[in-house]
Structure 1
Amino acid sequence: MKISHLTITAIDIPRASVLTTAYGSLDSATTLLIEIHTDEGVTGIGQVSVDAPFYGETAEGMLANIRTHIAPALIGENPFDIVRLNHVMEAVLPHHWGSHSGVDMALWDLKGKALGVPVYQLMGGKVREGVDLMGFVHFGPPDQMAAEAVEKLDEHAYPVLKMKIGLNPQEDVIRYRAVAEAVGDRAVIQVDGNTGYTIAQALQALPAMERIGSLGAIEQPVARMSDLAELARRLNTPIMADEAIYPPEDAIRVVEKRAASIALMKINKHGGLTNVYRIGTIFGAAGLSLSIAIYYDLIGVAAAHLAAAIPCVTWPSPATAMMDTIVATPFAPDGLLLKAPDAPGLGVELDWDKVRHYARTE
């Protein structure tokens, strides 16, 4: 079997709610859909999010990168050679993890379909059913966030609620107090700073949140690895690395510096399923934990396969709400669990009418 050609489609799907972070606000999700076709008629499909502030690549940049650099290098190759083809992508387009990611996902999907097994089986089989879920509280006035937190717990009884910080330390503490007091002992809270704090601001806000109580994890409040390590030494709450880790080598540095005890994996950010699995091996060997962001559509499906196969994925992931989905196969949480499908490859089919509806016109 040989790769014959690649097809790339940019699509925009509205979010159910505006996502506000230290980077700015987003009201829609732009993704690329990558199809890898073969001379034997088997096609693998991958997807990558192109929220530029988070991943550093725009839709236009990824389209050009895949068409100009990656596709020509993969045509004629055996799609089963996933590890080698990741090295090929890195050789022709170094450090463009987003551009690599959707292609890598499509290779896993293709191989699973060709062999008639689900992706998690290709990775060694299940250690759990899929991704455990947490709730997400959207940024807003303190009373509004507190009300949403209670509503989420009443609806789903999430063990963890995630909220954004990183815009203003004093106001963040006020918002945190409102949510924590509303939640009580029903759940713990994960705060996510998206590198928005300086170390001085972090040491002002985060100990105050610890004193309020209910703080379960602190996700990437500062940018520098050395500052993360200082927070890990000085605070009692587990530190979660996000922006500190891109390729697997970064995970080694986090372990060496003891900068975090949990890491949030984003398939797009790390270059695909292959690198997330490698990072899982590193963190697992160090006795640390992973969480895998599920996002939407095929990205969520792929995250469920990774969570099913990687032993150290023990911290839940935020549930993501979109206005619509391009996945035709029923794929929704079973209670607080998003199960990995058992069908070959990623295990879902797409609604191609919706793909065409949301596709960008070039």
Structure 2
Amino acid sequence: MPTPSLITKLEVFRVPPRWLFVRVETQDNLVGWGEGTLEGHTEAIEGAYADLRERFVGADADNIQDIWQTAYRARFYRGGPVLMSALSGLDIALWDIKGKKLGVPVWQLLGGKVRERIKVYGWIGGDSPSDVVENALERRQQGFTAVKMNGTDAVSWLDSPSELLDAVQRVKDVRATGLDVAVDFHGRLHKSMAKQLAKLLEPHQPLFIEEPLLPTQPEEIADLARAISTPIALGERLFTRSDFRPYLEKRALDVAQPDVAHCGGISELHRIAALTEMYDVALAPHCPLGPIAFAACLQVAVTSPNFAIQEMSWKIHYNKHPDEAAGLEADLHTYMSNPSVFDIVDGHVAVLQGPGLGIEINEGLVRETSAKYIAEQKPWRNPVWRGEDGSVREW
């Protein structure tokens, strides 16, 4: 019988720019890292980890699926962004431990690879889209062949059509650089405006349009899918296989974007990949987050036949701290001891070969930075947008 790896410690670290890392240690001195980031809700996740710590310190880390099922099913209320994000970080850390214990990458434990490299895309432009051509050219120099950009700033329920024309021009300009471009509507547009913008963009062949409507609107998104040829992507605000079900059954979805730090970790991301493959839907995991979440996505991407492209947060605008004088900015590579494993060549990163997640986290830096961050800065919060009449608009 193999020796159990009992969990002895579960720690969480709040680190800039807006991430929450999870460290799990076992009695045989194995350490796994996870990421349970839920942007703008850090304290809620930290509270959820107090519960998980009480439940699973002393459990056998080898029993990943039993721990997952217990965390998800063994309480009356389940699902949702907070509980699933906390479970995600724990699950990722347990897979990291399992791979390290057996001396193999996680993707080997998921059935082995079906591809030799993984296509990635980078962000251009921020929430007020400008200078996108310059940013696109920078991304080309960095090795990307595809990018994503926000389509619009804040838009009201029914706004001037002129609000949409600038978005169309920016897409045309970026396409002229030779890059493929996805357009993120960010759920900012309501139906009357979203269907106009989707039609206007269609001749320019975006890679996909993301969250054209809020994820509360599966019927309306299905209607839009029938009206345009552009692929529709969404999923960052869906948290389980069950949440994806209505979109799949209504044929509302072309590209699934579950977020490994929100949807239940590697375990559930792998299951969502298999489910969406059955509906001929591509997999493009959402990940504007840290290196642990990115590495976890890559493990699933290697094994999933329907994987298409992976979001990569290197130099994304979210990684810039609003107070540069605070000295607490961080980027994708900051907390890694082996950042070269994320090098981009011809729009792709290599399959990770190291055991577990295949990345090495600088634990000393994480501990030092987390202590400084907690002492000196409040957790990240997204802005609240209001229209010219003072009413709240979607961010």
Scaled by the length of structure 1, the TM-score of the pair is: 0.86
Counterpart-to-counterpart distance in 2, 1:89 and 1:143: 44
Aligned mate of 1:65, from 31, 48, 71: 48
Match of 1:329 in 2: 338
Aligned mate of 1:355, from 366, 379, 382: 366
SS in 2 for 1:267: coil
Match of 1:289 in 2: 282
Alignment of 1:218-257 (within 5 A): 218-223=209-214, 224-243=217-236, 245-257=238-250
1:264 aligns with 2:274: no
Counterpart-to-counterpart distance in 1, 2:265 and 2:356: 15
Task: Provide Cα deviations, 1:301-322, integer angstroms capped at 9, x if missing partner.
Answer: 1111111111111134345325
1:315 aligns with 2:299: no
Farther off after superposition, 240-249 or 273-282: 240-249
Match of 1:101 in 2: 88
Counterpart-to-counterpart distance in 2, 1:193 and 1:318: 18
SS in 2 for 1:152: helix
- 1:140–1:122 CA distance, 2 compared to 1 (3 A): closer
Counterpart-to-counterpart distance in 2, 1:112 and 1:66: 23
1:116 aligns with 2:103: yes
How far off its partner does 1:164 sit? Answer: 0.7
What amino acid maps onto 1:217 in structure 2? Answer: F
SS in 1 for 2:131: helix
What amino acid maps onto 2:59 in structure 1? Answer: E
What amino acid maps onto 2:343 in structure 1? Answer: P
Aligned mate of 2:63, from 67, 81, 84: 81
- 1:271–1:319 CA distance, 2 compared to 1 (3 A): same
Match of 1:341 in 2: 352
Structure 1 residue ranges without an equivalent (≥5): 14-28, 53-57
CA contact 1:195–1:243 (8 Å) conserved in 2: no
The CA RMSD measured in Å over matched residues stands at: 2.2
CA contact 1:165–1:191 (8 Å) conserved in 2: yes
Task: Provide Cα deviations, 1:243-276, integer angstroms capped at 9, x if missing partner.
Answer: 4632011222221110111111211120111110
- 1:145–1:345 CA distance, 2 compared to 1 (3 A): same
CA contact 2:168–2:200 (8 Å) conserved in 1: no
Task: Provide Cα deviations, 1:213-232, integer angstroms capped at 9, x if missing partner.
Answer: 14221111101111111110
Match of 1:192 in 2: 184
Counterpart-to-counterpart distance in 1, 2:130 and 2:188: 23
Greater strand content: 1
What amino acid maps onto 2:39 in structure 1? Answer: D
Counterpart-to-counterpart distance in 2, 1:86 and 1:269: 14
Counterpart-to-counterpart distance in 1, 2:247 and 2:142: 33
Runs of 4+ off more than 6 Å:
none
1:11 aligns with 2:20: no
Match of 1:201 in 2: 193
CA contact 2:143–2:344 (8 Å) conserved in 1: no
Structure 2 residue ranges without an equivalent (≥5): 156-160, 320-329, 376-395
Scaled by the length of structure 2, the TM-score of the pair is: 0.80
CA contact 2:121–2:144 (8 Å) conserved in 1: yes
- 1:115–1:293 CA distance, 2 compared to 1 (3 A): same
Counterpart-to-counterpart distance in 2, 1:131 and 1:173: 34
Counterpart-to-counterpart distance in 2, 1:183 and 1:150: 11
Counterpart-to-counterpart distance in 2, 1:75 and 1:181: 54
Counterpart-to-counterpart distance in 2, 1:351 and 1:302: 17
Counterpart-to-counterpart distance in 2, 1:40 and 1:146: 52
Match of 1:35 in 2: 23
How far off its partner does 1:157 sit? Answer: 5.8
CA contact 1:2–1:75 (8 Å) conserved in 2: no
Farther off after superposition, 161-170 or 218-227: 161-170
CA contact 1:251–1:282 (8 Å) conserved in 2: no
Aligned length: 339
How far off its partner does 1:152 sit? Answer: 2.4
Match of 2:323 in 1: none
SS in 1 for 2:208: strand
Task: Provide Cα deviations, 1:18-52, integer angstroms capped at 9, x if missing partner.
Answer: xxxxxxxxxxx322222222222222221222312
How far off its partner does 1:82 sit? Answer: 1.1
CA contact 1:240–1:263 (8 Å) conserved in 2: yes
How far off its partner does 1:182 sit? Answer: 4.5
CA contact 2:13–2:366 (8 Å) conserved in 1: no
1:158 aligns with 2:144: yes
How far off its partner does 1:359 sit? Answer: 0.3
- 1:193–1:341 CA distance, 2 compared to 1 (3 A): same
